[in-house]
Structure 1
């Protein structure tokens, strides 16, 4: 019965603290190789069972104080090299993700990521602008594209969990600004916003500029984005 309650997470109010005291992190009774293997298994099992990326602080609860989580992750990833999935650093933690080479097979078998399929080119471009220039107001976004970004347009991105309200702008009227979220990082496979391509480097290379953003001329795939935004703003 106690084991079943543990599996289901239905212990009493003090069970977490009691279990924390009794849980053996250090595993001093094991030889070094067996200890390392057990730590690897614990980390991989925890990440596998979690629905969200698992952060370093969480993993530190299940391994010894002297254990290097980064080295553990490296060893787990080495063992997964021949597998169709990997342990990926994303959104401030680690998560099991299938390798891109198997995307078509997965899509054929069980369908794709519906949320990703729902994003239009214009929404991706607006998200890109928010990612680089956050916190940013709706009016500032509208000025980028020369067309109004409607509240419904912003509402769809918020409903998908990709953006959230940021601090009030110091401009007249103190409008809300918008910032990207953890879901944004997950959607685009980023660990942090620092993983976005360096904007200044892209400008220096002539691949991206504020002028191109204003013109909607970032890459061929985004041709007609300004028109898309205008249509979506009218709907």
Structure 2
């Protein structure tokens, strides 16, 4: 991209543009400053503002998410790049139960998950759900030992077509859909199937199989 393409662009702005274009992950202004040899932070922020304005009407936008900047496709053009492909993600029975417990009781610790399930939960099960992007570390419980607690992510809501946790199905809906086994009554009763905090979260279709 030539310097003339961005009104008022200088070597600093072009360096920021090139760095973000090549970056594997979004970058903070501080990271950009460090990467560019300790460039003055104010200059970095001015350059980001200039680039964001320039790209606002183009096919790609420069956007800031949680203090980090990156390029992304303009929202109205996303459909041109989307490739429709059904992705079936199969979870073990244990992973399905753990995901359900976290969704309905979050934030919840591993010990609390095990108390509800009645069996130990392997770290591998939680790792699978984290790799899928459906759960996240939500801090630590302020009790002795300060255990890690888990919560679902916005990606979980998106993947299962939920606007918020209010949309999680109740036990009657799950039974009507044939998703509950009669022998699971004790587990179902422990689950309650009512979100403890059904507020909106700020943070494809799945096929769950045993």
Under a length normalisation based on structure 1, what TM-score does the superposition of the two structures give? 0.46
When residues 179 and 126 of structure 1 are mapped into structure 2, their CA distance, relative to the original with a 3 A threshold, is closer
Task: Quote the offset at 1:160 in angstroms.
Answer: 3.4
* 1:138 aligned partner: 110
* 1:223 aligned partner: 169
* 1:158 aligned partner: 130
Two-structure CA RMSD over aligned residues (Å): 5.1
Mapping for residues 197-208 of structure 1, pairs under 5 Å: none
Equivalent-residue separation in structure 2 for 1:66 and 1:56 (angstroms)? 7
Equivalent-residue separation in structure 2 for 1:119 and 1:97 (angstroms)? 30
| Aligned with residue 41 of structure 1, among 3, 11, 14 | 14
* 1:74 aligned partner: 49
Mapping for residues 108-123 of structure 1, pairs under 5 Å: 108=83
Contact 2:56–2:62 (CA under 8 A) maintained in structure 1: no
Please say if 1:96 is aligned against 2:76.
no
Contact 2:109–2:150 (CA under 8 A) maintained in structure 1: no
CA displacement, residues 85-106 of structure 1 (integer Å, 9 cap, x when unaligned): 2112235421111123222221
* 2:60 aligned partner: 85
When residues 167 and 91 of structure 1 are mapped into structure 2, their CA distance, relative to the original with a 3 A threshold, is same
When residues 77 and 92 of structure 1 are mapped into structure 2, their CA distance, relative to the original with a 3 A threshold, is closer
Equivalent-residue separation in structure 2 for 1:60 and 1:39 (angstroms)? 10
Under a length normalisation based on structure 2, what TM-score does the superposition of the two structures give? 0.50
Aligned length: 159
Equivalent-residue separation in structure 2 for 1:128 and 1:87 (angstroms)? 36
Equivalent-residue separation in structure 2 for 1:156 and 1:127 (angstroms)? 15
Equivalent-residue separation in structure 1 for 2:86 and 2:49 (angstroms)? 28
Contact 2:13–2:47 (CA under 8 A) maintained in structure 1: yes
Please say if 1:177 is aligned against 2:148.
yes
When residues 112 and 42 of structure 1 are mapped into structure 2, their CA distance, relative to the original with a 3 A threshold, is farther
When residues 80 and 165 of structure 1 are mapped into structure 2, their CA distance, relative to the original with a 3 A threshold, is closer
Q: Unaligned 5+ residue runs, structure 1?
A: 1-32, 189-206
| Aligned with residue 54 of structure 1, among 1, 5, 27 | 27
* 1:25 aligned partner: none
Contact 1:137–1:175 (CA under 8 A) maintained in structure 2: no
Task: Quote the offset at 1:38 in angstroms.
Answer: 1.3
CA displacement, residues 46-68 of structure 1 (integer Å, 9 cap, x when unaligned): 01101111122221132742743
Contact 1:53–1:94 (CA under 8 A) maintained in structure 2: yes
Equivalent-residue separation in structure 2 for 1:118 and 1:69 (angstroms)? 42
SS of aligned partner of 1:170: coil
Task: Quote the offset at 1:158 in angstroms.
Answer: 2.4
